[in-house]
Structure 1
Amino acid sequence: MAVGVLEHHPYGTVRLHVPAARGQPVELPAEVLAHAVDLSPQMIEHARAAGAGTDVAYAVADVARLPFEDATFDLIVSSLSQHHWADVPGAVRDLRRVLRPGGRLWIYDVRWMLRGATREVRAAFGADAVRRDVVRRFVARLSATVPGPLSTGSSSG
Protein backbone atom coordinates (compact mmCIF):
# COMPACT_ATOMS: atom_id res chain seq x y z
CA MET A 1 0.00 0.00 0.00
CA ALA A 2 2.64 2.52 1.00
CA VAL A 3 4.58 2.20 -2.25
CA GLY A 4 2.18 4.28 -4.35
CA VAL A 5 1.61 6.78 -1.57
CA LEU A 6 5.30 7.32 -0.96
CA GLU A 7 6.14 7.70 -4.64
CA HIS A 8 3.58 10.40 -5.35
CA HIS A 9 2.49 12.00 -2.11
CA PRO A 10 2.89 15.77 -1.73
CA TYR A 11 3.60 15.71 2.04
CA GLY A 12 7.12 16.93 2.36
CA THR A 13 10.50 15.80 1.26
CA VAL A 14 11.86 13.89 4.27
CA ARG A 15 10.11 10.57 4.90
CA LEU A 16 10.42 7.57 7.17
CA HIS A 17 9.20 4.06 6.36
CA VAL A 18 8.45 1.63 9.22
CA PRO A 19 9.25 -1.22 8.65
CA ALA A 20 11.85 -1.06 5.92
CA ALA A 21 11.40 -4.55 4.56
CA ARG A 22 8.14 -4.63 2.68
CA GLY A 23 10.17 -5.98 -0.22
CA GLN A 24 8.95 -3.35 -2.65
CA PRO A 25 11.36 -0.84 -4.19
CA VAL A 26 10.20 2.74 -3.99
CA GLU A 27 11.08 5.22 -6.71
CA LEU A 28 11.04 8.68 -5.21
CA PRO A 29 11.60 12.09 -6.75
CA ALA A 30 15.20 13.28 -6.42
CA GLU A 31 14.29 15.95 -3.87
CA VAL A 32 12.86 13.36 -1.42
CA LEU A 33 15.13 12.05 1.33
CA ALA A 34 13.85 8.64 2.41
CA HIS A 35 14.83 6.65 5.48
CA ALA A 36 13.62 3.21 6.50
CA VAL A 37 13.97 1.33 9.77
CA ASP A 38 13.38 -2.21 10.90
CA LEU A 39 14.21 -4.03 14.12
CA SER A 40 15.62 -7.00 12.22
CA PRO A 41 19.05 -6.78 10.52
CA GLN A 42 17.93 -9.57 8.18
CA MET A 43 14.90 -7.56 7.09
CA ILE A 44 17.09 -4.51 6.48
CA GLU A 45 19.29 -6.63 4.20
CA HIS A 46 16.17 -7.92 2.42
CA ALA A 47 14.93 -4.35 1.94
CA ARG A 48 18.32 -3.21 0.62
CA ALA A 49 18.36 -6.07 -1.90
CA ALA A 50 14.75 -5.44 -2.97
CA GLY A 51 15.40 -1.72 -3.27
CA ALA A 52 18.79 -1.93 -4.97
CA GLY A 53 19.36 1.22 -6.97
CA THR A 54 17.02 3.36 -4.87
CA ASP A 55 18.24 6.19 -2.70
CA VAL A 56 16.91 5.07 0.69
CA ALA A 57 18.95 5.21 3.92
CA TYR A 58 18.36 2.06 6.00
CA ALA A 59 18.86 1.60 9.74
CA VAL A 60 18.31 -1.20 12.25
CA ALA A 61 16.27 0.45 14.98
CA ASP A 62 13.43 -0.02 17.43
CA VAL A 63 10.48 2.20 16.57
CA ALA A 64 10.32 3.20 20.26
CA ARG A 65 13.95 4.43 20.16
CA LEU A 66 14.53 5.93 16.74
CA PRO A 67 18.06 7.13 15.86
CA PHE A 68 16.91 10.47 14.46
CA GLU A 69 16.86 14.01 15.77
CA ASP A 70 13.64 15.69 16.84
CA ALA A 71 11.39 17.07 14.08
CA THR A 72 13.19 15.27 11.23
CA PHE A 73 10.35 13.88 9.07
CA ASP A 74 7.48 15.38 7.08
CA LEU A 75 5.79 12.02 6.57
CA ILE A 76 6.06 8.73 8.49
CA VAL A 77 4.33 5.63 7.16
CA SER A 78 4.07 2.37 9.07
CA SER A 79 2.75 -0.53 7.02
CA LEU A 80 1.71 -3.71 8.78
CA SER A 81 4.21 -3.43 11.60
CA GLN A 82 2.37 -1.88 14.54
CA HIS A 83 1.12 -5.26 15.75
CA HIS A 84 4.80 -6.25 16.26
CA TRP A 85 5.72 -3.22 18.39
CA ALA A 86 6.65 -4.32 21.91
CA ASP A 87 6.11 -0.81 23.30
CA VAL A 88 3.21 0.88 21.46
CA PRO A 89 3.08 3.94 23.77
CA GLY A 90 6.86 4.41 23.47
CA ALA A 91 6.71 3.96 19.69
CA VAL A 92 4.00 6.58 19.26
CA ARG A 93 5.88 9.00 21.52
CA ASP A 94 9.08 8.55 19.51
CA LEU A 95 7.30 8.80 16.17
CA ARG A 96 5.78 12.08 17.37
CA ARG A 97 9.23 13.24 18.50
CA VAL A 98 10.79 12.75 15.06
CA LEU A 99 7.78 14.16 13.18
CA ARG A 100 8.01 17.81 12.15
CA PRO A 101 5.24 20.19 13.21
CA GLY A 102 2.48 19.82 10.65
CA GLY A 103 3.86 16.46 9.50
CA ARG A 104 1.78 13.33 8.92
CA LEU A 105 1.94 9.94 10.62
CA TRP A 106 0.11 7.12 8.83
CA ILE A 107 -0.17 3.75 10.56
CA TYR A 108 -1.62 0.94 8.46
CA ASP A 109 -2.34 -2.39 10.07
CA VAL A 110 -5.03 -5.00 10.46
CA ARG A 111 -8.12 -3.35 11.91
CA TRP A 112 -8.35 -5.25 15.20
CA MET A 113 -4.71 -4.48 16.03
CA LEU A 114 -5.05 -0.70 15.71
CA ARG A 115 -6.95 -0.12 18.97
CA GLY A 116 -3.78 0.34 21.04
CA ALA A 117 -2.13 2.62 18.48
CA THR A 118 -5.33 4.64 18.07
CA ARG A 119 -5.52 5.21 21.83
CA GLU A 120 -1.85 6.24 22.01
CA VAL A 121 -2.01 8.52 18.95
CA ARG A 122 -5.04 10.30 20.40
CA ALA A 123 -3.16 10.77 23.68
CA ALA A 124 -0.03 12.07 21.92
CA PHE A 125 -1.59 14.20 19.16
CA GLY A 126 -5.11 15.01 20.41
CA ALA A 127 -8.50 13.35 20.14
CA ASP A 128 -9.25 14.67 16.64
CA ALA A 129 -5.87 13.60 15.20
CA VAL A 130 -6.98 10.08 14.29
CA ARG A 131 -8.80 9.35 11.09
CA ARG A 132 -9.60 5.73 10.33
CA ASP A 133 -10.04 4.93 6.69
CA VAL A 134 -10.46 1.91 4.46
CA VAL A 135 -7.24 1.68 2.44
CA ARG A 136 -8.94 1.33 -0.96
CA ARG A 137 -11.03 4.48 -0.38
CA PHE A 138 -7.98 6.38 0.86
CA VAL A 139 -5.94 5.44 -2.22
CA ALA A 140 -8.82 6.42 -4.51
CA ARG A 141 -9.10 9.85 -2.84
CA LEU A 142 -5.35 10.35 -2.92
CA SER A 143 -5.02 9.31 -6.56
CA ALA A 144 -7.63 11.93 -7.48
CA THR A 145 -5.36 14.67 -6.07
CA VAL A 146 -1.86 13.40 -6.86
CA PRO A 147 -0.45 13.10 -10.37
CA GLY A 148 0.69 9.67 -11.52
CA PRO A 149 -0.59 6.17 -10.86
CA LEU A 150 -0.97 4.81 -7.35
CA SER A 151 -0.53 1.14 -6.58
CA THR A 152 -1.59 -0.84 -3.56
CA GLY A 153 1.26 -3.24 -4.22
CA SER A 154 -1.28 -6.06 -4.18
CA SER A 155 -3.15 -7.86 -6.90
CA SER A 156 -6.05 -8.55 -4.56
CA GLY A 157 -7.38 -5.02 -5.09
Structure 2
Amino acid sequence: MTVVMTRIDNRLLHVIIVTQWAPMSKANRVMVIDDKVANDDIAKSSMRLARPAGMAISIITEDKALNNFKSGKYDHENVFIIAKEPSTFVKLKEHNVEFNKLIVGGTVVKEGDKVIQLSQRAYATPENIVDYHKLINSGVKVVTQFVPADKPQDISSLI
Protein backbone atom coordinates (compact mmCIF):
# COMPACT_ATOMS: atom_id res chain seq x y z
CA MET A 1 0.00 0.00 0.00
CA THR A 2 1.17 3.45 -0.78
CA VAL A 3 -0.30 6.46 0.93
CA VAL A 4 0.01 9.08 -1.77
CA MET A 5 -1.63 11.98 0.06
CA THR A 6 -2.87 12.82 3.55
CA ARG A 7 -5.09 15.74 4.46
CA ILE A 8 -6.85 17.24 7.44
CA ASP A 9 -10.16 18.78 6.43
CA ASN A 10 -13.13 19.42 8.71
CA ARG A 11 -15.56 18.84 5.83
CA LEU A 12 -13.86 15.57 4.87
CA LEU A 13 -15.07 14.80 1.33
CA HIS A 14 -16.37 17.87 -0.50
CA VAL A 15 -16.16 19.54 -3.89
CA ILE A 16 -12.59 20.90 -3.56
CA ILE A 17 -11.35 17.45 -2.54
CA VAL A 18 -13.27 15.73 -5.35
CA THR A 19 -12.39 18.16 -8.15
CA GLN A 20 -8.88 19.32 -7.19
CA TRP A 21 -7.06 17.28 -4.54
CA ALA A 22 -8.19 13.77 -5.51
CA PRO A 23 -7.21 14.03 -9.20
CA MET A 24 -3.77 15.42 -8.39
CA SER A 25 -3.18 12.73 -5.75
CA LYS A 26 -3.08 9.94 -8.38
CA ALA A 27 -4.81 7.72 -5.81
CA ASN A 28 -7.17 4.94 -6.74
CA ARG A 29 -8.82 4.98 -3.30
CA VAL A 30 -9.92 7.87 -1.13
CA MET A 31 -10.20 6.93 2.51
CA VAL A 32 -12.20 9.02 4.95
CA ILE A 33 -11.32 8.12 8.53
CA ASP A 34 -13.97 9.44 10.89
CA ASP A 35 -15.76 7.48 13.61
CA LYS A 36 -18.87 9.68 13.62
CA VAL A 37 -19.47 9.62 9.85
CA ALA A 38 -18.59 5.92 9.56
CA ASN A 39 -21.31 5.14 12.11
CA ASP A 40 -23.95 7.39 10.53
CA ASP A 41 -25.56 5.59 7.59
CA ILE A 42 -27.15 8.74 6.14
CA ALA A 43 -23.94 10.81 6.31
CA LYS A 44 -21.95 7.89 4.92
CA SER A 45 -24.38 7.38 2.02
CA SER A 46 -24.30 11.08 1.20
CA MET A 47 -20.53 11.12 1.23
CA ARG A 48 -20.37 8.05 -1.02
CA LEU A 49 -22.34 10.01 -3.63
CA ALA A 50 -19.45 12.49 -3.78
CA ARG A 51 -16.90 9.76 -4.55
CA PRO A 52 -14.28 11.06 -6.99
CA ALA A 53 -14.62 9.57 -10.47
CA GLY A 54 -12.55 6.45 -10.99
CA MET A 55 -11.72 6.03 -7.31
CA ALA A 56 -12.84 3.51 -4.74
CA ILE A 57 -13.98 4.99 -1.45
CA SER A 58 -13.71 3.85 2.14
CA ILE A 59 -15.51 5.69 4.92
CA ILE A 60 -14.36 3.90 8.04
CA THR A 61 -13.63 4.25 11.73
CA GLU A 62 -10.14 4.80 13.00
CA ASP A 63 -9.99 1.28 14.46
CA LYS A 64 -11.14 -0.30 11.21
CA ALA A 65 -8.56 1.73 9.26
CA LEU A 66 -5.77 0.59 11.57
CA ASN A 67 -6.91 -3.05 11.33
CA ASN A 68 -7.22 -2.85 7.54
CA PHE A 69 -3.74 -1.38 7.18
CA LYS A 70 -2.30 -4.00 9.54
CA SER A 71 -3.93 -6.84 7.59
CA GLY A 72 -2.57 -5.52 4.28
CA LYS A 73 -6.01 -4.85 2.80
CA TYR A 74 -4.73 -1.89 0.77
CA ASP A 75 -1.29 -3.26 -0.11
CA HIS A 76 -1.83 -2.89 -3.87
CA GLU A 77 -3.53 0.48 -3.83
CA ASN A 78 -2.59 4.15 -3.83
CA VAL A 79 -4.53 5.72 -0.99
CA PHE A 80 -5.49 9.34 -0.26
CA ILE A 81 -6.41 9.64 3.44
CA ILE A 82 -8.63 12.40 4.82
CA ALA A 83 -9.42 12.94 8.52
CA LYS A 84 -10.48 15.83 10.74
CA GLU A 85 -7.76 15.73 13.39
CA PRO A 86 -3.97 15.28 13.48
CA SER A 87 -4.38 12.64 16.20
CA THR A 88 -5.66 10.25 13.52
CA PHE A 89 -2.41 10.62 11.60
CA VAL A 90 -0.34 10.20 14.76
CA LYS A 91 -2.09 6.85 15.34
CA LEU A 92 -1.48 5.83 11.74
CA LYS A 93 2.24 6.60 12.15
CA GLU A 94 2.32 4.67 15.44
CA HIS A 95 0.92 1.69 13.53
CA ASN A 96 3.61 1.96 10.84
CA VAL A 97 1.45 3.47 8.10
CA GLU A 98 4.00 5.35 6.02
CA PHE A 99 3.46 8.88 4.70
CA ASN A 100 5.84 11.81 4.54
CA LYS A 101 3.59 14.85 4.16
CA LEU A 102 0.38 16.05 5.81
CA ILE A 103 -1.64 18.86 4.27
CA VAL A 104 -3.75 20.84 6.71
CA GLY A 105 -6.75 22.29 4.89
CA GLY A 106 -9.78 23.81 6.51
CA THR A 107 -10.36 23.17 10.19
CA VAL A 108 -13.12 24.23 12.51
CA VAL A 109 -12.54 27.64 14.06
CA LYS A 110 -11.51 26.78 17.58
CA GLU A 111 -12.04 29.11 20.49
CA GLY A 112 -9.67 29.65 23.38
CA ASP A 113 -6.68 31.59 24.60
CA LYS A 114 -4.10 29.15 23.34
CA VAL A 115 -5.51 28.48 19.88
CA ILE A 116 -3.08 29.23 17.07
CA GLN A 117 -4.21 30.30 13.64
CA LEU A 118 -2.13 28.38 11.12
CA SER A 119 -3.67 30.00 8.05
CA GLN A 120 -6.78 31.87 7.02
CA ARG A 121 -8.76 28.60 7.31
CA ALA A 122 -6.78 26.42 9.72
CA TYR A 123 -6.54 26.55 13.50
CA ALA A 124 -4.79 24.40 16.10
CA THR A 125 -5.52 23.69 19.74
CA PRO A 126 -2.75 22.89 22.21
CA GLU A 127 -3.59 19.17 21.73
CA ASN A 128 -3.31 19.56 17.94
CA ILE A 129 0.06 21.27 18.35
CA VAL A 130 1.38 18.34 20.40
CA ASP A 131 0.24 15.99 17.62
CA TYR A 132 1.80 18.15 14.90
CA HIS A 133 5.10 18.08 16.79
CA LYS A 134 4.91 14.27 17.01
CA LEU A 135 4.34 14.07 13.28
CA ILE A 136 7.13 16.51 12.46
CA ASN A 137 9.51 14.66 14.79
CA SER A 138 8.68 11.41 12.98
CA GLY A 139 9.77 12.95 9.67
CA VAL A 140 6.43 14.15 8.32
CA LYS A 141 6.40 17.55 6.63
CA VAL A 142 3.26 19.36 7.83
CA VAL A 143 1.98 22.19 5.66
CA THR A 144 -1.17 24.23 5.45
CA GLN A 145 -2.73 24.58 2.02
CA PHE A 146 -6.42 25.07 1.24
CA VAL A 147 -6.41 24.44 -2.52
CA PRO A 148 -3.62 23.10 -4.73
CA ALA A 149 -3.11 26.55 -6.29
CA ASP A 150 -2.16 27.99 -2.86
CA LYS A 151 1.49 27.97 -1.91
CA PRO A 152 2.00 25.38 0.86
CA GLN A 153 3.23 26.87 4.12
CA ASP A 154 5.28 24.79 6.51
CA ILE A 155 3.71 25.08 9.96
CA SER A 156 6.89 24.28 11.91
CA SER A 157 7.63 27.93 12.58
CA LEU A 158 4.02 28.63 13.61
CA ILE A 159 3.79 26.06 16.35
**TM-score, L = length of structure 1:** 0.49
**TM-score, L = length of structure 2:** 0.49
